[in-house]
């Protein structure tokens, strides 16, 4: 299971969120409100979510580390941000994320 850190557990919609992943060298995908991910990087949203936000392209781990930035575009409320294998499947690790309008 990879290690996963995000720059904030609460932020305003549209703000940048920085993330870091550690673990074996491979390609990983970060997504908000995704229950599962296909190999084509299409997400199935978690129950209660209308859609999921998927970061493209995948994060390529190098030296067991990967990092990136995303503009959070999901509506205000409680969300789950997760790391998936770029090959698809269920989340490898997840964290809670609160998004606000202000």
Average pLDDT per 10 consecutive residues for the chain, totaling 102 residues: 93 96 93 97 94 93 92 96 96 97 86
pLDDT value of residue 5: 97
The residue range of the domain holding 24 is 3-100
Q: In this structure, what CATH number is given to the domain that contains residue 17?
A: 2.60.40.1930
Beta strands in 23-90 (DSSP E): 27-32, 34-37, 43-45, 53-54, 59-60, 65-71, 77-85
Q: How many CB atoms lie within 10 A of CB 54?
A: 18
pLDDT value of residue 2: 86
pLDDT value of residue 25: 86
Answer for the pair 88, 37: CB distance below 8 angstroms, yes or no: yes
Residue 54, token pair as written in the block = 């998927």
pLDDT value of residue 1: 76
**Total domain count, the chain:** 1
Answer for the pair 30, 59: CB distance below 8 angstroms, yes or no: yes
pLDDT value of residue 69: 95
Place of tokens 């190098």: 62
């Amino acid at each position: 299971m990879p290690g996963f850190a995000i720059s904030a557990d609460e932020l305003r919609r549209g703000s940048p969120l920085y993330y870091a992943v550690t673990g074996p060298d491979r390609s990983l995908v970060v997504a908000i409100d995704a229950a599962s991910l296909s190999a084509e990087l299409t997400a199935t949203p978690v129950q209660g979510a209308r859609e999921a936000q998927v970061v493209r392209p995948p994060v390529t781990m190098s030296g067991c580390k990967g990092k990136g930035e995303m503009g959070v575009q999901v509506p205000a409320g409680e969300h789950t941000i997760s790391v998936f294998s770029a090959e698809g499947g269920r989340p490898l690790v997840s964290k809670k994320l609160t998004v606000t309008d202000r």
